[in-house]
Amino acid sequence: MADPAVRLQVCLETLGVEEETLEGVPAHLRLPVAVTRYWLRRASPEPTLLKALLMVMVQGELNRQSRETTGWQGYTEHLFKPLDGVVAHSFNQWQACLNDCSKLNLLLCKPLPEPHYAWLYQGRLVHRRQKQLQEREPEDIVQDDQFRRLYRRLLGAVTQPDPGANRRTGGPEGQLRASMEHLHLNTEDEEEEELGGAEGLDQGSDWPRVSVRTRYRTKDRKDRSRNPELGRKQEREGWL
């Protein structure tokens, strides 16, 4: 079996997340936070329920830690109210990302601790929080210091820029990438110059076409002078 660090790197690189980003996040929330970061950058349309999703994630984690039997009260409130279609679509996208990444994590023998799914999220509460956030901020809805600290930590891990972005631009890989891009641009410039020259000759004249035909006819004459039989064959077949 591969080294745990290698398996972790494969998992995080698949999601486009650096390990440094997850520092300070509780161990079994690192997978859903990495998934949320991936989902936030690639979902279409752009997600609008990030704060609501993180709120429910934090609330579930704190309830799990305290083991309160009444911790899930409120998750079953307003069960029969219609759901917002946009929120439901975005939430389903997030669930799909979490499902696929959980399978990858399992395939790699769990380099990231498996989250406690039963405490991780609840769709109805996500909808309820999203509606509350239209008028208030998360820290006004849940006035608890422990909640606020964990919420800020998760929000920072999901939204902060890649810590290694600046380092990558100056490293060997960044230099190689820059060199390849420079080569590609130079090649495009040369092609544009060649095409531009031909287009310039083409304005008001038939020079490019005459030049091309002349070149091939010159080559054709040379071939026939070297091989008279080839010339007679081309004449019979209607080349000229």
Structure tokens belonging to residue 178: 């820059």
What sign does the dihedral 29-31-34-39 (CA atoms) show?
Answer: negative
Under DSSP, is residue 25 helix (H, G, I), strand (E, B) or coil?
coil
pLDDT score, position 183:
46
From CA 152, how far away is CA 142, in angstroms rounded? 13
Structure tokens belonging to residue 81: 């109210």
Q: Is the pLDDT of residue 57 over 80?
A: yes
| ω into 45 cis (within 30 of 0) | yes
Give the angle 103-106-109 at the CA atoms, nearest 5°. 155
CB 29 within 8 A of CB 110: no
pLDDT score, position 163:
73
Q: Is the pLDDT of residue 13 over 90?
A: yes
Tell me the per-residue pLDDT of 109-140, one tens digit each, with 9 for 90 and over: 999 999 988 888 788 889 889 999 998 999 89
What sign does the dihedral 32-154-82-85 (CA atoms) show?
Answer: negative
Segment 55-59 shows an average pLDDT of 93
From CA 125, how far away is CA 72, in angstroms rounded? 10
List the chain domain ranges.
4-163, 190-240
